[in-house]
Structure 1
Amino acid sequence: MKKIDINSPEAQSADLVAGNIEQLKALFPELITEGPNGTAVNVDVLKALVGDQTVTDADEKYGLNWHGKRRARQLALTPSTGTLRPCPDESVDWDTTRNLMIEGDNLEVLKLLQKSYAGKVKLIYIDPPYNTGKDFVYPDNFQDNIRNYLELTGQVEGGQKISSNSEASGRFHTDWLNMMYPRLKLARALLKSDGVVFISIDDRELNNLRTVANEIFGEENFVATVSVVNNMKGRNDKKHVAACHEYVVIYAGPSFQSNGLPLTEEQRAAFKYTDEKGFKYALRDLRKRGGPDRREDRPNMYFPIFWDEASGRCYLERQADSDIEIVPLRGDGSEGRWRWGIDKVRKHLDWMHPKRSDRSGRLDVEHRLYLDTSIAIDDDIEEEDEDDEGAIERTSKPKSVWFGGEFSSDSGKRALKELLPGDAFDFPKSIEFMRTCVLLGASSSDIILDLFSGSGAMAQAVMHQNAIDGQSRRCICVQLPEPLDPTEKKQKGGAALCDKLGVSRNIAELTKERIRRAAAKIKADNPLFAGDTGFRVFKLDHSNIRAWNPNPADLEASLFDHQDHLLEGRSEADVLYELLLKLGLDLCVPIEQRTIAGREVHAVGGGVLMACLAEQITGEQVEPLAQGIIDWHKELAPAGDTTCVFRDSAFENDVAKTNLAAILEQHGIQNVRSL
């Protein structure tokens, strides 16, 4: 039975360096060699593979560099020593929900999520602290970031203070970039190939963010920088120009397809015609306008359409001398082209509606644009025009400027104050802004990750949108439990609410309370909605597995203290969820319990993980316990290999431990581990 200690792969978050080396090895095995410290990459072979001129470590190269970038990159690759401890008492609908609210430093949380959620997140929203020169709450500690996090949030004594990132410090941009770089790097690894990232930002760091994001996500995956008008009055903190907008920078995976936005009432009004089956449609020019709209651009999309004016029917071959020939002509009379190819037009001749221009009297052709997505163009006809938006467009393409009262900070504040009193959040994002991001990037049961959750607006927006369209998007919120100071004017209301609720004075408590109240409001406003309005709460902490940290002055006592590899005060649930996380299972995966031989046994994910974390297992219990686990394992019939875990100190002696492992292995459960 293999023992899991603090250095075992099963006890650590994903080793991203090892993963990178494995990918290189799969592509170019000759790159991997042995160095003085183990596995290494042969740079000379790399140069030979790609050519000396394409490998550079020169100072003069395009990109953004700053003091600490190398360390920030290394910080992203360093495995976490933490865990996420379950808090059912602070959760809503723990047994059924698939939403998560994680209280902790998002850098460590991102590391811990790698095994379970790598390549599974459809939409990531990032609203980082803007670089204003005020208190800076994310000074990462390279040596022990968990300890650093606990000290910053007042959970252990240490006296660390939140740093001030003023422009006078000389590291104004550097500190912000060092904070953002590893988080973006880790977030990228969670994104699906068809996923999308929305990052809110203001003028101060926009250019730096774009350059860093180009490096991490790839410049070819940049979608847009959208201006969001959120304060029409303008903010007076600018010296010469009152800022009335901020930005959302969008990057997407190579196979991302935008969902578009629902049509406005004005847009829907254009679908004023009804066909013989009662389906609504609008009329759209068949002639290509703008861009490559000349005949020479797409010669095969220039052809005549013949119109029998008496019957109103269109043909691709002349039927009678009286038929009128219509060809695509541009505004200046030169030859243009149609949007559709000849095969597609032939399939839908009954959709063609010739019209005469009011100004020139020249004939053009319009085609039907159906509102209902069930009216589909034949799938066997390939779209010939890459710029064609299709004849079944029921959504609209978003513009690069988002404006309207629904996007304003005032709207965000009103929505928040409906649920929480006080002014703990300066500029909460509006629900409509968040919903717009969700509509564009996520649907069905997609996972949405909100890295800096703040007031919890994204969680409310996801639940609200699910209530509107009946879908089941999932939300993972991460928020630092940043302390609230009741002596500070802007934090006084939030601190008072925490006192009223009987919880710790920190931002994460307000985040959770806002989500609870938003969920209740959504259910009350939508009585027929039976979707998920709950969330599971987890809190970042040191690993449940005790690290070897001997006292040189009393080694005997140190050895005695480390007989049990698990920290005192940790529950079975704490240990179980750490195993689940470190083995790469979803934090909302189903968990079943059975009592076997007087001991509670857990089956996670249909038997992928089975665990008995009882504190004592006697020799007499070994055989019935093993047989019960084997029988249950056969019932569950998991698709993959099963890992079975026990508490190492629980066994009466080594014989009992060896016998239990042997029985399980004889019946096909090969991965038997102890903690």
Structure 2
Amino acid sequence: MRPWNTFIEGDNLDVLRGLAEAGETFDLVYIDPPYNTGSAFSYSDDLRGADGRRKGRHEAWVAMMRPRLEAARAVMAPGSALYVSIDDNEVAYLRLLLDEVYGEANFLAQVVVNLNAKGRQLGKGFATSHEYLLVYALDARTCVLDASSPDLVDEADFRLVAEDGRRYRRLPLRNTNKKFNPVTAPTLHYPLWGDPVSGRVDVAPFEGAVEIKPVFGDGSPAVWRWSAPLVAARTEDLVCRQLLGRLGERIDVFQRDWLDVTGGEGTPRRKKLRTIWTAAEVGSTDTAVAELKSLVGHVFESPKPTGLLRRVLGTMPADARVLDFFAGSGTTGHAVALQNLADGGRRTCLSVNHAEPTRVGSNAERAGLATVAEITRARLRAVAETVGGGLEERDAAAR
């Protein structure tokens, strides 16, 4: 069985091109590229234009990113997706660049990620508390990304218990949006039959049943959310009850919305992800520092929390081949191991980082970690020892 984690030290552009030549493909690409804070980049790209003029700040950053994103696209498998972390300095330029490389039609989301709940208090202006995740598909028509999560489901919402022990909540079968009515959706305006004593609902009359038509609270005609064939196929998921409304007593039909969507087979219910992810949900920079410190020490200034990456991983299949070619402190590989351990998945992660020197006088240098690649390697080795899944270290030339 392949190890969960693999690490390659080398320039990510060279590595990506080598992976393409070798025919390797990946289902999920996540990167946290260098944010353009005005400092020089640690990559050896030529940052001068055709006229010899040195590129401007944004132009130079885009020039560094473009070939890497193009090379990443070449190793993405059918159905795959790309997530890119970025901040305000380059989010506008990155969005345009990704539209060029991946196509505007393949844009999926721009997620706001709250990694610093208190906000940055240094400097002038606003206390920035967020970054972004830009999400693109290789092909949105075939992408397998599932933008939902079981973690957002509140079991307390499902207070009712059926005869077989399953928990559920009641949702109106009537469409409560007045934009949908017998004029705009005529096929969904039809009578049902129900017995408020037994709760039974059907599309045809039966003994003890009364006719039930969808109406709004003011008595105006409404429509159902389900078609008649769907009602006929799922009558066990419906119940009718007598209610006291604004105009007096009436009988209405409700869907029994199950907590366990498989009917007792154990598959967790999922809820659509919002485009704002809070630190309470995915972790913060502080929790990320603590995670890294527990493994190899406080040797990286702004790592990403594993909770953020685990949410990203949760949108893709449990056997996804993951690539992170700006691996930084190794959060993605750590998250893959944690998620595999949690759900029995078979994900693999290839992390790529180059030998960028650590800052003179930094915690990393004092800990004997001369390059950022050594931080990545140290963390992934510690993950293999403490979480499991193994680690393969490959030579950049051999891919």
TM-score, length basis structure 2: 0.89
Secondary structure of 1:135's counterpart equals: coil
Deviates more, 1:281-290 or 1:302-311: 281-290
Structure 2 residue 134 is matched with structure 1 residue 134? no
Alignment deviations for residues 602-644 of structure 1 (CA, whole Å, 9 cap, x no partner): xxxxxxxxxxxxxxxxxxxxxxxxxxxxxxxxxxxxxxxxxxx
Aligned-pair distance for 1:98? 5.3
Aligned residue-pair number: 386
Q: 1:409 aligns with which of 285, 289, 312?
A: 285
The equivalent residue for 1:199 is 84
Which residue identity does 1:222 align to in structure 2?
F
Counterpart pick for 2:166 among 258, 279, 304: 279
Aligned mates of 2:218, 2:155 — CA distance in 1: 32
Q: Which residue of 2 aligns with 1:105?
A: 11
Shift of 1:276: 3.2
Q: Aligned match of 2:331 in 452, 457, 464?
A: 457
Deviation of 1:291 (Å): 8.5
Q: Residues 485-525 of structure 1, C-alpha deviation per residue, up to 9 Å, x if partnerless?
A: 4xx34x2x2123236xxxxx1111111111111232224xx
Instruction: Tell whether the 8 Å contact from 1:431 to 1:460 is kept in structure 2 after alignment.
Output: yes
Q: Does 1:328 align with 2:214?
A: yes
Contact 2:202-2:231 within 8 A present in 1 as well: no
Selected match of 2:366 from 468, 485, 496: 496
Q: Is the contact made by 1:355 and 1:364 (CA closer than 8 Å) also made in structure 2? A: yes
| Offset of residue 289 of structure 1 | 3.8
State the partner residue of 1:242.
127
Instruction: Please give the alpha-carbon distance, in whole angstroms, between the structure 2 residues aligned to 1:518 and 1:125.
Output: 19
- The equivalent residue for 2:387 is 522
Q: Distance in 2 between matches of 1:420 and 1:356?
A: 63
Cα distance in 1 for partners of 2:165, 2:17 equals: 54
Equivalent position of 1:536 in the other structure: 392
Residue in structure 2 matched with residue 261 of structure 1 by the alignment: 149
Cα distance change, pair 192–285 in 1 and its aligned pair in 2 (3 A):
farther
Q: CA deviation at 1:225?
A: 0.7
Q: Any unmatched runs of 5+ in structure 2?
A: 49-53
RMSD after superposition: 2.5
Give 2:198's match in structure 1, choosing from 297, 301, 311: 311
Seen in structure 2, the aligned counterparts of structure 1 residues 519 and 415 have a Cα distance that, compared at 3 Å, is same
Higher relative CO (CA 8 A, sep ≥ 6), structure 1 or 2? Answer: 2
How far is 1:408 from its partner? 1.1
Partner of 1:75: none
CA contact (8 A) 2:283 2:305 kept: yes
Post-superposition CA distance 1:453-473 (Å, at most 9, x none) = 100011010100000000110
Q: CA deviation at 1:122?
A: 1.2
User: What pairs up with 1:2-13 in 2 under 5 angstroms?
Assistant: none
SS in 1 for 2:133: strand
Counterparts of 1:283 and 1:463, CA distance in 2: 38
> Quick one: distance in 2 between partners of 1:189 and 1:467?
30
Which has a greater percent of helix? Answer: 1
Deviations 1:42-68 (A, max 9, x none): xxxxxxxxxxxxxxxxxxxxxxxxxxx
User: Are the structure 2 counterparts of residues 475 and 96 from structure 1 closer, same or farther at C-alpha, using a change threshold of 3 Å?
Assistant: closer
For residues 251 and 296 of structure 1, the distance between their equivalents in structure 2, rounded to whole angstroms, comes to 38
CA deviation after TM superposition for structure 1 residue 358, in Å:
5.4
Pick the aligned partner of 1:227 from 112, 116, 122: 112
Q: Deviations over 1:339-363 (max 9, x none)?
A: 2211111122122122355553544
The CA deviation at 1:537 is 1.1
State the match for 1:397 in structure 2: 272
Corresponding position of 1:215: 100
Cα 1:308–1:357 shift into 2, 3 Å? closer
What's the offset of the Cα at 1:337? 2.2
- Mapped partners of 2:131, 2:259: distance in 1: 34
Offset at residue 141 of structure 1 (A):
4.5
TM-score, normalising length: structure 1 = 0.54
Partner of 2:51: none
Equivalent position to 1:427, from 282, 302, 305: 302
- Name the counterpart of 2:20: 114
Task: Percent identity, please.
Answer: 33
Q: What are structure 1's unaligned runs of at least 5 residues?
A: 1-94, 143-162, 164-168, 377-391, 500-504, 524-532, 542-577, 582-675
Matches within 5 A, 1:332-481: 333-356=219-242, 359-360=245-246, 361-375=249-263, 394-405=269-280, 406-422=282-298, 424-440=299-315, 442-481=316-355
- Establish whether residue 183 from structure 1 lines up as the match of residue 68 from structure 2: yes
Shift in Å at residue 108 of structure 1? Answer: 0.9
CA distance in 2, matches of 1:291, 1:449: 46
Q: Which residue of 2 aligns with 1:639?
A: none
User: Structure 1 CA distance, aligned partners of 2:215 and 2:336?
Assistant: 47
- Structure-2 change in CA distance of 1:515 and 1:332 (3 Å): farther
> Is contact 1:228-1:407 (8 Å) kept?
no
- Asked if the contact 1:307/1:314 (under 8 Å) is kept, the reply is yes
For 1:191-211, what per-residue CA distance to the aligned partner results, in whole angstroms no more than 9, with x for missing partners? 223111111111111111111
